Copies of this chain bind each other. A is one copy, B any other.
Amino acid sequence: MSNERYERGWQKLQEIDGEAGERVIESLKDIAPDFARYLIEFPFGDIYSRPGLDLKSREIATVAALTALGNAAPQLRVHIQAALNVGVTRRQVVETIMQMAVYAGFPAALNGLFAAKEVFQARNEKGLA
């Protein structure tokens, strides 16, 4: 089952999402182990591993999209963390989310900001940037 895309994806997942990503994979093991594999192979092994757009920009795009869609709160929190992990600043995360008020309305932006607040507080407690 192991292959080049899986290996590349697993490394990329750890670089971007760290422990939070591993927990998602772990939680899929009993219900849909193949989906855990796809999640590593396609988003991380194929997409995030592509050159042509740096990881900071990729995470800004993802935080923007998940804030705008507004229906995937756990994944938004994971990607706010991911953005900070790859070097996006808290300020840039907040600016990205605020901008979504223009494209998806104030409630979407508000809920995004509250998600960021939660992530920032958890990171403060761990002494992370």
Q: Is the CB of A30 within 8 A of B104?
A: no
A99–B31 touching, CB < 8 Å: no
Residues of B within 8 A of A94 (CB): 31-32, 52
Q: Of the candidates B58, B75, B100, B110, which one forms a contact with A110 in the assembled complex, judged by CB atoms under 8 Å apart?
A: B75
* Copies of this chain: 6
Inter-chain contact B105/A61, CB cutoff 8 Å: no
Which residues of the other chain, B, contact A61 by a CB distance below 8 angstroms?
60-61, 63-64, 96, 99-100
Q: Which residues of A come within 8 Å of B, CB atoms?
A: 24, 27-28, 30-32, 34-35, 38-39, 42-43, 46-48, 50, 52-53, 56-58, 60-72, 74-75, 91-92, 94-111, 113-114, 116-117, 120
